[in-house]
Amino acid sequence: MDPTEAELEAAWLLEKEQLELDDDAGDQWEPSLPDFKPDEDPTAASSLSSRLLLCPNKAGTDGTRAERERQVVFEASKGSKFFLDQEKKDKAVTDRIAFLKKKMADVTAGDMNESRRVVESVLAQIERRRRLDRVIVHVDMVRSDGMGA
């Protein structure tokens, strides 16, 4: 029996909770949101332009020159099929982030406890089905000259 979407989501929430445990506080945990600046517009041109542009680590692309190159590429790309496609992708990602942030804010301690119970139940089922009576061996054959098979 495969786990349902709700069980998988519960497992993810429990794993996230475990990662966020505060070592100094013992078993107490506090959910935390990623750094987000409320006045920052995630759909702004800078968000999209960052995916359209040259690598900032390229030689000769220091500060002002890199910014000028970004602006030129961004302006030249406006209206192109690629640009419009990137805008759609950017909007989809931004919408998904907003949805997940709202969903995360709505999670209560009771929800987390219920999720933990479901995950522990699923893990117990999986553990009971484990087969430890088999041994699987994979041998990768390599030529003597090291060039592969």
What are 84's two structure tokens? 């419009």
Q: Tens digit of pLDDT for each residue in 91-107?
A: 999 999 999 999 888 88
Asked whether the predicted pLDDT for residue 128 surpasses 80, the reply is yes
Domain ranges of the chain: 5-121
Percent residues over pLDDT 90 in the chain: 26
Mean pLDDT of the chain: 74
Total-model pTM:
0.39
Helices (H), 1-144: 5-19, 45-52, 63-77, 81-105, 109-129
CA-to-CA dists, residue 116 to 13, 62, 88, angstroms: 8, 49, 36
Q: Tens digit of pLDDT for each residue in 42-81?
A: 445 556 656 555 565 666 656 667 778 778 888 888 888 9
pLDDT at 126: 94
